[in-house]
Amino acid sequence: MTKNDMFTYLLGVDGDIKFYRMGQLAAEKHTKYILQIEKKKDDIESALTEHLRINGAYWGLTTLDILGNLKAVEQEAVISWVMSCQHESGGFGGNIGHDPHLLYTLSAIQILSLFNKTQILNIPKVSTYISTLQNKDGSFSGDKWGEIDTRFSYLAICSLSLLKSLDKINVEKAVEYIISCKNLDGGFGCTPGAESHSGQIFCCVGALAITGCLHYVDKDLLGWWLCERQVKSGGLNGRPEKLPDVCYSWWVLSSLIMIDRVDWIDKEKLVKFILECQDFENGGISDRPDDAVDVFHTYFGVAGLSLLEYPGLKAIDPAYALPVDVINRLFLK
């Protein structure tokens, strides 16, 4: 039975049941879905995404934690696998045998943070790997091959902050570079002059929030651009004229929260949009209603609902993208 059939069926039997089913988060199903993809390694989707499996692990594990089910995974096995993705240089690859990159290094640190295990890292080594990727103008390369992007600034700053090693880089210059990527519309792009994009905005605002530099953001102007991302269905898009997509429930929403403008969107409608993207049969959340689910959108959907204070979910920190209790455990002890 497809999702659509099921809805028709439910509606046919009892409109209220449909409303009831659609109106809430299928938390148990999502837990099951994530636990099942964690084990699956030999289907074509897992094969073709194996180079970023560590990102997938972070998305899945964080979702489980927000749902209150992190205990359902074998912690030891996950940690030893994460550590086997580390290179001599200190950086992490997306999987065993894959080259290191900041994209995967942050995910590794976030996973270890979820399990309260960052102490097993050789912190000076990891932070040296990250700090050597900073360029003279303050920007960061993603790896030794030199591609520059404000996403990499966020990855570096978030990683170092979680390791309490921000003093290893020139924070002032890093902030200066991020500010140089601000556009006239109030948004941010990946390099100076690049088009504003919600994902990039999250990275820039997140990095500025972590470094205590949000005063550089024109909050009204950026808030204006961000709330114009909400479309009629209640969903958020990532750029003008694009379709809504659940992943922007995270990127746009967390940015709006960080700059204190979240009341500028219709939160109720957004909750409804996210809930409509669930697969009620097999668990998981998709980008838009009736599309195929994946772990990426499942995470962004659940994390978005957490930001919207959906009942029964752990609160998530909008800058670190980790549960608030994980962040408190790190910084308040």
Residues across the chain: 333
47 binds another protein, rule: CB under 8 A = yes
Q: What is the dihedral of CA 149, 153, 154, 159, to 10 degrees?
A: 130
* Nearest residue (CB) to another protein, 165 versus 237: 237
Count of residues near another protein by CB under 8 A: 42
Minimum separation from the CB atom of position 231 to another protein (A): 8
CA-CA distance, 86 to 296, in Å (whole number)? 23
Residue 130: CB partners within 8 Å, gap ≥ 6? Answer: 90, 91, 102, 105, 156, 159, 160, 168, 169
93 binds another protein, rule: CB under 8 A = yes
Q: Angle CA(104)–CA(107)–CA(113) in degrees, nearest 5?
A: 145
Minimum separation from the CB atom of position 146 to another protein (A): 7
137 binds another protein, rule: CB under 8 A = no
Stretch that binds another protein, among 84-92, 128-136, 224-232, 311-319 (CB under 8 A): 224-232
How does DSSP classify residue 148? B
Stretch that binds another protein, among 114-122, 195-203, 278-286, 313-321 (CB under 8 A): 195-203
Determine if residue 217 is left, alpha or beta; phi over 0 gives left, psi from -120 to 50 gives alpha, anything else beta. Answer: beta
241 binds another protein, rule: CB under 8 A = yes
Stretch that binds another protein, among 45-53, 62-70, 108-116, 320-328 (CB under 8 A): 45-53
195 binds another protein, rule: CB under 8 A = yes
Q: Which of residues 252-271 bind another protein (CB under 8 A)?
A: 263-266, 269
Specify the 3-state DSSP secondary structure of 261: coil
291 binds another protein, rule: CB under 8 A = no
* Nearest residue (CB) to another protein, 160 versus 190: 190
* Nearest residue (CB) to another protein, 24 versus 191: 191
For 236, list phi and psi in degrees, rounded to 5: -110, 140
Beta partners for residue 158, in sequence order: none
For residues 306 and 66, is the Cβ–Cβ distance under 8 A?
Answer: yes
How many C-beta neighbours within 10 Å does residue 105 have?
29
Beta partners for residue 134, in sequence order: 140
CA-CA distance, 148 to 141, in Å (whole number)? 5
CA-CA distance, 9 to 21, in Å (whole number)? 12
136 binds another protein, rule: CB under 8 A = no
Minimum separation from the CB atom of position 316 to another protein (A): 24
Residue 110: CB partners within 8 Å, gap ≥ 6? Answer: 58, 62, 162, 320, 321, 322
Stretch that binds another protein, among 29-37, 166-174, 216-224, 307-315 (CB under 8 A): 216-224
304 binds another protein, rule: CB under 8 A = no
288 binds another protein, rule: CB under 8 A = no
16 binds another protein, rule: CB under 8 A = no
101 binds another protein, rule: CB under 8 A = yes
Residues of this chain that interact with another protein (CB under 8 A) are 44, 47-48, 51-52, 93-94, 97-99, 101, 143, 145-147, 184-185, 189-191, 193-197, 220-221, 224, 227-228, 230, 232, 234, 239-242, 263-266, 269
